[in-house]
Amino acid sequence: MNTNIKHTALLSRLSREDENIGTSESILTQKTMLTQYAKSHHFKNIIHYVDDGYSGTNFERPDFQRLMQDIKLGKIGVVITKDLSRLGRDYIKIGNLLEEYFPKYQVRYIAINDDIDTINGIPEYVPFKNIINEWYARDISRKIRSAYQTKALNGEFTASYAPYGYKKDENNKHQLIVDEETSWVVKEIFELIANKNSLYQVARILKDKKILKPRAQIMKKEGKYYNELWEKYPYDWSPQTIHRIITNEEYLGHLICNRNSTISYKSKKLKQNPREKWIIKKHTHQAIIEEELFYLANKALEGSIKKKVIKPRNMFSQLLRCDCCGKALSLYHGDRRVASFCCVTYRSFGKKYCTAHYTRYDTLYRYVLEDIRKHAKKAIKNKEELLQEIINHRTKTNEEEHKNKIKENQRIEKRLKEIKEIMIKLYEDKALNRIKEEMYEELLESYEKEKAEKVLKRNENNIFINESKIKEKEVKKFLECINKYEDLKELNEEILHQLINKIVVYEREIIDGKRIQKIEIEYNFIND
């Protein structure tokens, strides 16, 4: 086995719902179990990947993503988990990992408690095991949501962080108490707005006074920072933050829950619930703001905000990315009430940190719609030509090099067979005392090293050889999706997220006197 060349990845995961099961699921227990298993089975070059506090339905887990990247870079030969659920709880994604991703990069996968080792093939019961794991995640999600709602109805605070101006009672984490360090800031914000100051003016006043914004205040207490910008620019209050404080009825002493909810148990993306679905429990904690001041501030706020236009639904949510900072583009309405997108870094921190990357909603809509139509027409007109065009574009595979890899692998296989026969003969010579122990160990080490090098080279060649086949499969999926949209009249979220992985927006440039803006669409299954 090629353990001296590639690493053995030991993946542990614990979610909050798993914490209730007991110590058998703890990170420490998982790491100990995995380490013992790896050592007893002679796996070497061990690397631990640990995601503590992440649901199995979340595949954006930091160390899971690090593992995927290391696999792609050819660093990993074996992945071991306690059981299949530690890998994740989504039967489609887990199936893709086992049947496509791991084989693509020549990775062996072992789930100890589930008796899975892909070197022996994937057992027939695995799809059913994945479905059960996903059902478990759905059931747990439902139970947790129900438990939170029960606590809210009982007047118990359940969020991770207290609203700015409050803190959790040390003796009861479900009870809010006034935070004297920040509550005066909340009062000042309400008074400033009530006295006809705009959101931008209040944000500027707080910045000039060097008052930590809410997120920076939390990070200060915890001794860590959300990201580099929070650390460098902790006083840059945004008008949006001011607006959230002014409209938050929790400052009247009321507990408000269920304002937002996730789209599904698989997604952390939030949607805003209508007010009738909110859970409001009055007078659960001490008020910071009196009702009269709350009313005056919100009345002044309404008066300062121009009549709202009907906002189009942001169907591009989570798809748009800034090419400079990599952050999302948020939807906003300018002075002309034109819906546009803008880099969130620029909106939050200003032009010192990033540029605007403005693009109009209607302009982006037309561009994406036309691009989808273009691909659909091309797919229908000449499916095979487009298939080959995309494959060639992505792989840039030289046909001659492809043939050479196959020939090289044939030579490698021949040599591996020879090495196997030599090692068998070598063992026989040692058993019959035809060679000394020292000579045997020296020769064995030499042939093991050569074998490992040959296997590594063969695996690298296989990745190259199979790349076009894998990409062809991916492209075919894309063509099957897109060929339905030749006469597409309008976009919706379902179509966008089915077809598109992300849309990268560049800053505008002046070229030959014309303002040009580059937009790149990365489709699912292909990188176009």
- Residue 336 confidence class, pLDDT cut points 50, 70, 90: low
pLDDT at 79: 94
**278-292, 349-363, 481-495: segment of lowest average pLDDT:** 481-495
User: Is 215 or 232 the better-scoring residue by pLDDT?
Assistant: 215
Contact present, 91 and 134 (Cβ < 8 Å)? yes
- Half-sphere exposure at residue 183, Cβ-oriented, CA atoms within 13 angstroms: 17
Pick from 260, 252, 258: which is nearest to 284 by CA? 252
Identify the band that residue 124 occupies on the pLDDT scale cut at 50, 70 and 90: low
Q: Which amino acid is at 212?
A: L
β-strands 172-178, 519-523 pairing: unpaired
* 3-state SS class at 365: helix
Place of tokens 């791991």: 102
Q: What is the per-residue pLDDT for 1?
A: 40
Check whether 254 has a pLDDT greater than 60. yes
Checking if the pLDDT of 154 tops 80, the result is no
The reply to whether CATH 3.40.50.1390 applies to domain 7-146 is yes
User: In terms of pTM, does the model score above 0.75?
Assistant: no
What does the buried/exposed string (b/e) look like for 416-444 if buried means 16 or more CB atoms within 10 Å of the residue's CB? eeebeeeeeebeeebeeeeeeeeebeebe
In which band, very low, low, confident or very high, does the pLDDT at 481 lie, cut at 50, 70 and 90? low
CB 153 within 8 A of CB 279: yes
**CA distance linking residue 229 with residue 350, whole number of Å:** 11
Q: Domain residues of the chain, as ranges?
A: 7-146, 166-305
3-state DSSP call for residue 117?
strand
pLDDT at 353: 82
- Note whether 320 and 505 are within 8 A (CB): yes
The topology (CATH level 3) of 166-305 is Hect, E3 ligase catalytic domain fold (3.90.1750)
Confidence of residue 235 (pLDDT cuts 50, 70, 90): confident
Q: Contact 525/477 with Cβ under 8 angstroms?
A: yes
What is the SS3 assignment for 333?
strand
- Res 507: pLDDT: 92
How buried is 326 (Cβ within 10 angstroms: 0-12 exposed, 13-18 middle, 19+ buried)?
exposed
289 pLDDT tier (thresholds 50, 70, 90): very high
User: What does the pLDDT read at residue 450?
Assistant: 87
Please say whether the beta carbons of 46 and 10 come within 8 A: yes
Q: Which of 308-322, 423-437, 504-518 has the lowest mean pLDDT?
A: 308-322
Q: Which of 160-164, 208-212, 468-472, 511-515 has the lowest mean pLDDT?
A: 468-472
- Tell which residue, 482, 126, 492, has the closest CA to residue 314: 492
**Per-residue model confidence (pLDDT) at position 505:** 93
Mean pLDDT of the chain: 79
- What is the length of the chain? 528
pLDDT in tens, 160-210: 788 999 998 889 888 889 999 999 999 999 999 999 898 889 988 998 999
